[in-house]
Structures are given as structure tokens and as C-alpha cells.
């Protein structure tokens, strides 16, 4: 069964010199240290391994001491949870003391340090996330993760209900890891438990929800997974509003590498106000909110503006909204009754996308006006904005001389 797993990639993980030095240093004084979690999972799946986490019997102050002894810098990034970042040859590794849960409340866990690798594995979320590997090359599978990984199956460790009640974020992680790693359908026990425990999501912080939701939207099977979320009553809760599934599917299918937040826009922004609600709901950054709002304005324009008849209309649209936004909007709304876009305009969009045609760039700067004797101050902004309106109305000309003509025109008018 495990023939579909890349054991060579796993072996080559252990040939990484920094990682070897780290493990050797952390195995002093009778301690045992292993690579754990995502690095093992990704190596076995033949995927890139970017972060390597280690787990160890050594206590936090011992990790610091062993690091110093080997000449490595260490940073107590999460010392209260037992996590130290050890830097070997410029490469950071998170080294965490083995833990066992003492108490959980659905959000946070009180943990104690332990010396038992099996107990540490059992407190992790999914079987595919609980494999560990020693410097001796032995792969430890305390929870049946290898078989699940070979079958591309995401399963909770132990009873799914119990595990979800310990930490409701695991509901979203279940769907996120499914979206990234699974084939076929979700594990029926996990899915049923997630649905029954759904109300518990309400106690989670919005930051944690945001993190999982954006990761999910960026994942390989985002479309399938969002459909499952909708079918099981999660989607409206997550978005605090409606999701337009077809738009998400089309935007992802368009072959353009849209970011998670752009996928969120396609899915959940129907009007600009949706952007404000989603910012609150998911505690989005200003930059993320800006993108959602810009997408909302574009949709309004595409839905209720005039038809996009020719290359000039298209150029205007790109000048106002930016090429990435227009590509996203056109992909998401493709096939809907509006916008109506001519073939010529679509060809013009393609030319801009591929770089065959240059992107429209507004040709004037404040300095151009200052040079013509306009005093610095609010007047500059007003004139620039007027010039921009004229430039767009004229179809964003970029021929030599158009900047000078535009400059003369606003100066004469103003
Ligand atoms: P990636 O970073 O690529 O998303 P990862 O496996 O490293 O994947 P993290 O979220 O970084 O995922 O968590 C590291 C490991 O810690 C997981 O593999 C899992 O074993 C454990 N883990 C993380 N969050 C939880 C949780 N909420 N409940 C139980 N175990 C968890
Ligand atoms: Mg990680």
C-alpha cells in the first residue's frame, strides 16, 4: 500500500546536513529527538518540505543548553508551550518538548511535558500529521498514519467527536487538510462529527478561523471542499453570508494563479459591502480588505455598466481596476448574463495578460505639474485627478506626445 509513498524523499530528508547536525546535538545526554508532522507527511507525498519541526524528550532549558553546546543560536519562540527555534547554519528549526494534554476547553489546552512519543502522537489532530522519524532512519507510526497517507485519507486520531470537542478548530483543519491532501470523499466519521459539533466553532477566535479558511481556499481541492462545506451547512456560517460557488469554480479553473484572498473575493463578494462584513468576520488585514473592496467595485461596474464592446473599453477597465482584478472578475463572471464582452475585448484582455500589449499606465506625475509652475499643494492632486479622468475617457492613450497634450489640456482648463 505504501508503494505510492516516496520513501526516497524521506531518506533524503535525513541527508540534509543542518538537520542532521541538529538531531545529533539534540540526542546528547540520553535525550531522543525526532522529526515530526508536516515534514514527514510532505516528504512521503513527494511534496516540497519547507519547514521541519522536531519533537524531543529534552526539556526547553535543556534544548537551549544543548544548542549552545553545539554552537547553535536558539530563540525561545514559544517557551511556555515548550517550543524553541534552533538556528543551524542560518536555517531555523522548531524544536518542541514532547507534550501530553492535561486539560482542554475547546480552544486551548493545558499541557504537561512528557517523555512518551506515542502519547505526543495521540494528541495531534490527524493520523497523517502524527508520523515521526529518528536520525537512525526509523519511521514511527503510532496512529496508523502511513496507511492513511498511502490512501490519501484524512482521519482524526481517536474518536472524532472527542477530538473536536478538545479543539473546535480541528473542524476547519479537517477540511483544510482534506482540501490539500485527500483523494476521494471525506472520511465519513470525521465529516459526521464535524457536522454535529458545528456549533462549537463559535467559540474560536476569528484570527484562527481566518488562517484556516484562507489556507483551505488556496488548497488543491478548494472547489470540491467548498462544495462540501456548503452541503454540510458550514459555508454560510464561515462567510456570515452567501457564497457563489460557480464563481469560485470558474476563477480557479481559469488557469490563473489567483491568491486565496482573490478566491475569497470570487466566492463571497457580490457587492462592495460584503468586503466590510468579511473583514469583520475573518479579521482580514487592510490589504486583504482593499482587494475585496476593489473586486466588489469591479463587479458592480461589470454587472451594471455598459457592455464592453471593444479594445478601448477593455483598456479603460484595466486602467481603473488593474489587470489582476479584471482577470479575476472576467473569470468569475464568465457565462453569466452580464457582463456582455465582445470577442475583440476578450482578445485585448488576452494581449494585456500575456504582455503582447503594454498595460495602460497613467503618464503624468505631480512633478510634471510642478515643473510647469503649479505650486505644491492640494491643487496638484485636483489637477492630476482631472487629468486622469480625461485620460481614461479618451481610452488611456500611450502614444508619444499624449502626456504633453494631456498636461497642456488640464493646465489650460484649470
Ligand atoms: P503546514 O504547516 O504545511 O500546514 P503542518 O502539519 O506543519 O502543515 P501545522 O498547523 O504547522 O501543520 O501544525 C504542525 C503539527 O502540529 C501538525 O502536523 C499536527 O501534528 C499538530 N497540530 C497543529 N495544530 C493542531 C491542533 N489544533 N490539534 C492537534 N494537533 C495539531
Ligand atoms: Mg507547519
350 C-alpha to ligand 1 centroid (Å) = 40
Average pLDDT of the residues in 46-70: 97
pLDDT tens string 272-302: 999 999 999 999 999 999 999 999 999 999 9
Q: Best substitution site from 35, 101, 125 to test ligand 1's pocket, by max atoms within 8 Å of Cβ?
A: 125
Nearest-CA residue for atom 11 of ligand 1: 38
Between CA 356 and CA 223 the distance in angstroms is 31
Structural domains of the chain ordered from first start: 2-158 (3.30.460.10), 222-360 (no CATH), 366-413 (no CATH)
Between CA 215 and CA 218 the distance in angstroms is 5
38 C-alpha to ligand 2 centroid (Å) = 6
Give how far the C-alpha of residue 130 lies from the chain's centroid of Cα atoms, to the nearest Å: 23
pLDDT tens string 209-244: 999 999 999 999 999 999 999 999 999 999 999 999
C-alpha cell at 14: 535525513
The pLDDT value recorded for residue 79 is 81
Between CA 192 and CA 196 the distance in angstroms is 6
pTM confidence score:
0.93
Nearest ligand, measured from the Cα of 127: 1
Nearest-CA residue for atom 27 of ligand 1: 170
The pLDDT value recorded for residue 336 is 96
Nearest-CA residue for atom 15 of ligand 1: 37
In the Cβ-directed half-sphere of 271, how many Cα atoms lie within 13 Å?
3
Nearest ligand, measured from the Cα of 124: 1
Find the residues whose C-beta lies inside 6 A of ligand 1.
37-38, 53, 124-125, 129-130, 167, 169-170, 173
94 C-alpha to ligand 2 centroid (Å) = 10
Residue 413: pLDDT band (50, 70, 90) is: confident
The pLDDT value recorded for residue 1 is 45
Amino acid at each position: 500500500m505504501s508503494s505510492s509513498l516516496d520513501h526516497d524523499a524521506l531518506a533524503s530528508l535525513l541527508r540534509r546536513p543542518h538537520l542532521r547536525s541538529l538531531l545529533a546535538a539534540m540526542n546528547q545526554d540520553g535525550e531522543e529527538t525526532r522529526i515530526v508532522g508536516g515534514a514527514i507527511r510532505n516528504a512521503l507525498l513527494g511534496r516540497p518540505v519547507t519547514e521541519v519541526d522536531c519533537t524531543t524528550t529534552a526539556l526547553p532549558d535543556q534544548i537551549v543548553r544543548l544548542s549552545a553546546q553545539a554552537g547553535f543560536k536558539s530563540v525561545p519562540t514559544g517557551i511556555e508551550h515548550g517550543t524553541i527555534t534552533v538556528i543551524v547554519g542560518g536555517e531555523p528549526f522548531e524544536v518542541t518538548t514532547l507534550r501530553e494534554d492535561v486539560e482542554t476547553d475547546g480552544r486551548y489546552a493545558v499541557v504537561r511535558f512528557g517523555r512518551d512519543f506515542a502519547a505526543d502522537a495521540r494528541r495531534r489532530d490527524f493520523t497523517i500529521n502524527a508520523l515521526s522519524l529518528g536520525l537512525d532512519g526509523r519511521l514511527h507510526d503510532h496512529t496508523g498514519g502511513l496507511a492513511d497517507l498511502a490512501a490519501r485519507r484524512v482521519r482524526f486520531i481517536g474518536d472524532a467527536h472527542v477530538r473536536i470537542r478538545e479543539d473546535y478548530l480541528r473542524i476547519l483543519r479537517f477540511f483544510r487538510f482534506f482540501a490539500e491532501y485527500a483523494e476521494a470523499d471525506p472520511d465519513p466519521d470525521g465529516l459526521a462529527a464535524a457536522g454535529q459539533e458545528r456549533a462549537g466553532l463559535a467559540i474560536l477566535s476569528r484570527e484562527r478561523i481566518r488562517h484556516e479558511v484562507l489556507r483551505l481556499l488556496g488548497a488543491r481541492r478548494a472547489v470540491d471542499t467548498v462544495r462540501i462545506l456548503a452541503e454540510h451547512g458550514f459555508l454560510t456560517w464561515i462567510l456570515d453570508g452567501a457564497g457563489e460557488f460557480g464563481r469560485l469554480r470558474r476563477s480557479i479553473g481559469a488557469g490563473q494563479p489567483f491568491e486565496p484572498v482573490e478566491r475569497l473575493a470570487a466566492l463571497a463578494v457580490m457587492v462592495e459591502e460584503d468586503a466590510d462584513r468579511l473583514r469583520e468576520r475573518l479579521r482580514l488585514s487592510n490589504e486583504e480588505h482593499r482587494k475585496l473592496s476593489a473586486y466588489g467595485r469591479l463587479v458592480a461596474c461589470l454587472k451594471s455598466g455598459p457592455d464592453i464592446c471593444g479594445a478601448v473599453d477593455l483598456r479603460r477597465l484595466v486602467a481603473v481596476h488593474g489587470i489582476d482584478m479584471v482577470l479575476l472578475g472576467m473569470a468569475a463572471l464568465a457565462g453569466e448574463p452580464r457582463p456582455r464582452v465582445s470577442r475583440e475585448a476578450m482578445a485585448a484582455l488576452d494581449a494585456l495578460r500575456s504582455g503582447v500589449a503594454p498595460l495602460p499606465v497613467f503618464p503624468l506625475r505631480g512633478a510634471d505639474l510642478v515643473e510647469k509652475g503649479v505650486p505644491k499643494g492640494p491643487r496638484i492632486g485636483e489637477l492630476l485627478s482631472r487629468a486622469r479622468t480625461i485620460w481614461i475617457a479618451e481610452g488611456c492613450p500611450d502614444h508619444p506626445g499624449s502626456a504633453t497634450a494631456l498636461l497642456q489640456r488640464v493646465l489650460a482648463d484649470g
